[in-house]
A and B are shown apart, each in its own frame.
Chain A
Amino acid sequence: MTPLFLTSDRWYDIRDLGNLSRALLDAADKILPGGVVYVLAALIGFVASFLLFVLPSQLIIGVYGERRIIGRMQSRLGPNRVGPFGLLQPIADAIKLIQKEALTPTQADRVVMYIAPIIFVMPAVLLWAVIPFGENMVIADIPVSLMYFLAVSALPVIATFMAGWSSNNKYSLFGAMRIVSMAISYESPLVLALLGAVVMSGTISLSGMVAWADEYTIWMVFVQPLALVIYFICVSAELNRTPVDIAEAESEIVAGYLTEYSGMKWGLFYGMDIGYALAASGFAATVFLGGWTFFGLEEWVPGWLIFIAKTHLFYFLFIWTRGTLPRLRADQLMAFAWKFLLPLGVFNLLIVSTERMLWAEQDYAKGLIYVFALVNIVLSVGLVYAWARFNGYRPERTPTRPRLVKQAGGYIPVGERP
């Protein structure tokens, strides 16, 4: 499938910074021996992606923006004291965390406690290696990028466990066990949702997904809205964000697996909460929202700007649910994952496989995909509703006005006082 993009190949074409890095690396390949140019590519990719895109997003949008937006959603101001409009809040947070003493309990396992935040940081950094920012702007264009995402999302589970165990604290251990069981239960619907996207586009690599979206001028989200919803819920669970954050604020009131962590070790956990959320948003923007393409707009506007806009749009969804929804209990979470999301994922896969087969028989006609999109949207809404009714969830009618013990002489609401 040849993509139909019109960005040029010149190294000064700012719409695709990959041309510049490719010219640089080709020049370097002639000088350096053997395979060392790959190390240089990794360094350039890390510096470019991390410093230009990730770090500003994380600092500004993550620490500052999230707290302001959640504050406004909860009818209060967010942090607004530190700089003009509170913009220096992330720097204040970083300084506070660095100068704090990172206490280690005496009986705790020092080496494991030290390594756990490092392993927790790894997915957020590793994931940016495979996400395409633009046409040539992928650091590592491996043919199995989607499975790479699933592979690195298995790492925070291990890191959480290490953190909880090494703290030598009962509550840490309980919290860590709950989080690990929640994370592994939400991995199965995640795989099924992504599998639907793989079946529809016929490729596992992320640049292949973007090429598919550009060739058929439709985003995956319109063809499979159910997959995006399942992905969103499952990734919220992997990231321990509300409404599924039994990690942070519950766990017998103490902070769960983070109880014994203070100072910059805790800062690493907190920062990578945001970092991994941004990486997962970038991943969702690539798979479901069409990546760096926008139905042809990418010939004028740089692709990486479009991609950043989509990433932050998806991250706003994370912030929105965090500010709005209450927290679920642990057993409600598990029941939701195993009894509701997993069968929905299987139904989604069935529907998608059938459609792909019908589509292949028509030789991949371009108009047929819009029909499938419409059918899928209607089917998804109907399926969620029907499956919820089947499981016994009934929609709440308007809640009745609380009838307090008026007859017994209790509190009378203002509108009814004589």
Chain B
Amino acid sequence: MDGFGVSLAFWVLAAITLVAAGGVMVSRNLLHAVLFLILTFVGVAGFFVLLSADFIAMAQVIIYVGAIAVLVLFAVLLTPRASRDNGETRWALPGVLLSVCLAAIFLFVIHDTAWKTRDGVPQGLSASDLGTALLTTWVVPFEIASVLLTAALVGAIMLTRSPEEEAEDALA
């Protein structure tokens, strides 16, 4: 994990990710906030590549940038008269204060703990190992996750039906 390239990559990625996350918070336009969110997702995918988790990095880009960001954009589009100025609520200041305190606690704990780290890259981190693990040790959560996805799919379709479509399919 050493080398000039790795350090450069880490600092550049950290800068991009944190500045983009700050941009989500600060920008005055909801669409710009979504674009900064996409940049954050790509930055986190870069971190995954740096941590030898290449399958998860690609899955992150496919799922988050390819699907979830598009969903968010669609939701912004389908609510035309909602406020698009990315403004804050009345409880903004206590919320920010709370997260600052939480950040202080996290940073203290991170730097105070004596982590027992390993030296090299762990061995069994390839995509085939992930596939084996998902289908042997963790097969029950895998199946439950697929049921969950089906339920979410059906639920999302059902929630956004207009009353005419519901009347069409009602059991008369």
B-binding residues in A (CB < 8 A): 33-36, 38, 109, 112, 142-144, 147-148, 150-155, 157-158, 161-162, 165, 173, 177, 180-181, 184, 187, 204
Determine if B65 and A155 form an interchain contact, defined as CB atoms under 8 angstroms apart. yes
Tell me the B1-50 residues at the A interface (CB within 8 Å).
3-6, 8, 29, 31-32, 35, 38, 45
Residues of A within 8 A of B77 (CB): 173, 177
A-binding residues in B (CB < 8 A): 3-6, 8, 29, 31-32, 35, 38, 45, 54-55, 58-59, 61-62, 65-67, 69-70, 73-74, 77, 126-127
Determine if B66 and A187 form an interchain contact, defined as CB atoms under 8 angstroms apart. yes
* A-B pairs with beta carbons under 8 A, tally: 70
Complex CA distance for A150 and B66, rounded to whole angstroms: 9
Complex CA distance for A34 and B59, rounded to whole angstroms: 29
A287 to chain B, nearest CB (A): 16
In addition to A147-B59, A151-B66, A177-B74, 12 A-B residue pairs with Cβ atoms within 8 Å of each other are A36-B4, A143-B54, A144-B55, A147-B62, A148-B58, A152-B61, A154-B67, A157-B70, A158-B38, A158-B70, A165-B31, A184-B67
Mostly, the A contact residues are: helix
Residues of B within 8 A of A143 (CB): 54, 126-127
Determine if B5 and A151 form an interchain contact, defined as CB atoms under 8 angstroms apart. no
Residues of A within 8 A of B65 (CB): 151, 154-155, 158
Complex CA distance for A38 and B62, rounded to whole angstroms: 25
Q: Across the two chains, which residue of chain B brings its CB closest to A166?
A: B31
Determine if B4 and A34 form an interchain contact, defined as CB atoms under 8 angstroms apart. yes
Mostly, the B contact residues are: helix
- The contact sample of 26 A-B pairs, CB cut-off 8 A, is A33-B4, A34-B4, A35-B3, A35-B4, A36-B5, A109-B31, A112-B32, A144-B54, A144-B55, A144-B127, A147-B55, A150-B58, A151-B58, A151-B61, A151-B65, A152-B61, A154-B61, A154-B66, A154-B67, A157-B70, A158-B65, A165-B31, A173-B77, A177-B74, A204-B55, A204-B127
A278 to chain B, nearest CB (A): 22
User: B70: which of A161, A173, A204 is its contact (CB, 8 Å)?
Assistant: A161
Q: Across the two chains, which residue of chain A brings its CB closest to B31?
A: A165
Given A112-B35, A165-B31, the answer on whether A158 and B55 have CB atoms closer than 8 Å is no
Residues of B within 8 A of A204 (CB): 55, 127
A323 to chain B, nearest CB (A): 30
Complex CA distance for A59 and B7, rounded to whole angstroms: 40
Given A144-B55, A147-B62, the answer on whether A184 and B6 have CB atoms closer than 8 Å is no
